[in-house]
């Protein structure tokens, strides 16, 4: 098995594999009592019964570093003939790309990422002093997407729900509380859902999973002129307090997205109306979770297929046919997480 390490870069261009970057070390820095913890996640991907040229895409940790998550390096093994690290131009999503020639009968790749996280909390009870966000970023996160429109029934519902609220925080909280009270987790939904919020509201059936319920929050808040965005990721370890909110070891089915909105007084505020919703996760995240990206309507680099609604699962194509990432007979993958100590 070939083995290489590669460098995570902020450049929008392709970055060739083979640029060595050893896993970095991180001290025990704290902020407001939050302790940094280091994790390693390995994604192993196999494409079953390939035909023609085969391609695969694996999500990488959030770029750039934030005050709650830092990337500490990546490495890969496998039999791919071509590998690249790509950073999406619009959303900055980090993507590991692998390609195999038509003659390869058993394409496989294993990508290992190491990163550090610490719990995140914004104190909304007092004035904040956030660094101002760029106007271009705020405009991007008030715009609609294919599955998250900001007009019509979405805006109508948001205006009704937020009636009487005056500040951006009050409006976002009103939307959040409405979602908590009126939606429910539907276990029959495949994966994490599609995030098609117009369909949710038009049908009146408000059951779904995290990609549906957080997208509903994002779309409704955006329709009020408040920047908001989904953040897609995966649970990497057990929760300190709630068994249902964590996963460790084999995290292959631990994908989970969250949301945040931008307040002029507090900056980006974390929320999660889809996570055991009565817990009041408005303003905080327990970071037993790896954040991947904010991407929506993403065109996978090198793909001949359509855009994907979001990038939270490994993706694959063979003979220019997109494989179903939730079908184990089409794309076989396994995600393993471990905490790195010492």
| pLDDT tens-place string over residues 207-244 | 999 999 999 999 999 999 999 999 999 999 998 877 66
- In the chain, the percentage of residues whose pLDDT exceeds 70 is 88
Reported pTM: 0.90
Per-residue pLDDT reduced to its tens digit, 154-190? 999 999 999 999 999 999 999 999 999 999 999 999 9
Task: State mean pLDDT over 263-273.
Answer: 95
Per-residue pLDDT reduced to its tens digit, 78-118? 999 999 999 999 999 999 999 999 999 999 999 999 999 99
Residue 47 has a CB neighbour count (10 Å cut-off) of: 25
Of 11-20, 50-59, 174-183, 236-245, the least confident:
11-20
Q: What is the pLDDT at residue 30?
A: 37
Higher pLDDT, 7 or 275: 275
Contacts of 158 (CB under 8 A, 6+ apart): 175, 220, 221, 223, 224
Mean pLDDT of the chain: 88
Q: How confident is the model at residue 127 (pLDDT cuts 50, 70, 90)?
A: confident
Q: What is the pLDDT at residue 277?
A: 57
Q: Is the pLDDT of residue 298 over 60?
A: yes
Q: Is the pLDDT of residue 66 over 80?
A: yes
Q: Is the pLDDT of residue 283 over 50?
A: yes
Q: Is the pLDDT of residue 12 over 60?
A: no
Q: Is the pLDDT of residue 29 over 80?
A: no
Task: State mean pLDDT over 304-331.
Answer: 91
Rounded to whole angstroms, how far apart are CA atoms 164 and 161?
A: 9
Return the ∠ at Cα 57 (arms to 70 and 249), rounded to 5°.
55
Contacts of 68 (CB under 8 A, 6+ apart): 34, 117, 118, 119, 120, 285, 287
Domains in the chain and their CATH numbers? 2-118+311-340 (no CATH), 124-286 (3.10.620.30)
Cα–Cα separations (whole angstroms), residue 89 to 93, 94, 283, 294: 8, 10, 29, 12
Q: How confident is the model at residue 17 (pLDDT cuts 50, 70, 90)?
A: very low
Q: Is the pLDDT of residue 21 over 50?
A: no
Query: Is-contact 58 314, C-beta < 8 A?
Result: yes
Q: How confident is the model at residue 280 (pLDDT cuts 50, 70, 90)?
A: low
Q: What is the pLDDT at residue 327?
A: 87
Q: What is the pLDDT at residue 329?
A: 81
Task: State mean pLDDT over 62-90.
Answer: 95
Q: Is the pLDDT of residue 25 over 80?
A: no
Rounded to whole angstroms, how far apart are CA atoms 179 and 213?
A: 7
Give the gyration radius of the chain's Cα atoms: 20
Task: State mean pLDDT over 28-46.
Answer: 79
Residue 328 has a CB neighbour count (10 Å cut-off) of: 11
Sheet holding 37-47, edge to edge: 2-6, 69-78, 108-117, 37-47, 331-340, 249-250
Question: Is 169 in a helix, a strand, or coil?
Answer: helix
Whether a cis peptide bond, with omega within 30° of 0, leads into 211 is no
Sheet holding 228-235, edge to edge: 267-271, 255-263, 228-235, 289-293
Rounded to whole angstroms, how far apart are CA atoms 105 and 112?
A: 23
């Amino acid at each position: 098995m070939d083995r290489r390490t590669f460098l995570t870069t902020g450049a929008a261009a392709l970055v060739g594999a083979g640029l060595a970057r050893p896993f970095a070390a991180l001290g025990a820095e704290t902020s407001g009592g939050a302790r940094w913890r280091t994790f390693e996640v390995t994604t192993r991907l196999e494409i079953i019964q390939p035909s023609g040229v085969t391609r695969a895409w694996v999500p990488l940790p959030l770029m750039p570093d934030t005050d709650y998550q830092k990337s500490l390096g990546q490495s890969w093994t496998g039999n791919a003939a071509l590998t690249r690290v790509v950073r999406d131009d619009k959303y900055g999503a980090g993507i590991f790309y692998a390609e195999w020639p038509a003659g390869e009968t058993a394409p496989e790749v294993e990508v290992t990422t190491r990163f550090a996280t610490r719990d995140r909390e914004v104190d909304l009870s007092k004035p904040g002093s956030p660094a101002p966000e760029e106007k271009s970023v705020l405009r991007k996160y008030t715009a609609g997407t294919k599955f998250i429109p900001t007009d019509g029934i979405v805006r109508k519902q948001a205006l009704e729900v937020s009636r009487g609220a005056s500040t951006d925080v009050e409006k976002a909280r009103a939307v959040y509380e409405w979602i908590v009270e009126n939606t429910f987790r539907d276990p029959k939904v495949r994966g994490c859902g599609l995030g098609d919020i117009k369909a949710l509201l038009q049908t009146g059936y408000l059951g779904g999973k995290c990609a549906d319920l957080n997208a509903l929050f994002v779309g409704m808040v955006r329709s009020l002129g408040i920047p908001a965005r989904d953040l897609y990721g995966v649970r990497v370890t057990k929760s300190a307090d709630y068994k249902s909110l964590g996963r460790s070891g084999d995290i292959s089915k631990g994908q989970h997205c969250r949301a945040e909105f931008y307040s002029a007084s507090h900056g980006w505020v974390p929320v999660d109306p889809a996570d055991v919703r009565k817990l009041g996760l408005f303003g905080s995240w327990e970071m037993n979770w790896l954040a991947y990206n904010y991407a929506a309507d993403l065109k996978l680099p090198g793909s001949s297929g359509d855009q994907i609604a979001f990038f939270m699962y490994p993706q694959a194509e063979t003979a220019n046919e997109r494989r179903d990432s939730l079908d184990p007979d089409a794309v076989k993958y396994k995600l393993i997480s471990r905490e790195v100590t010492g």
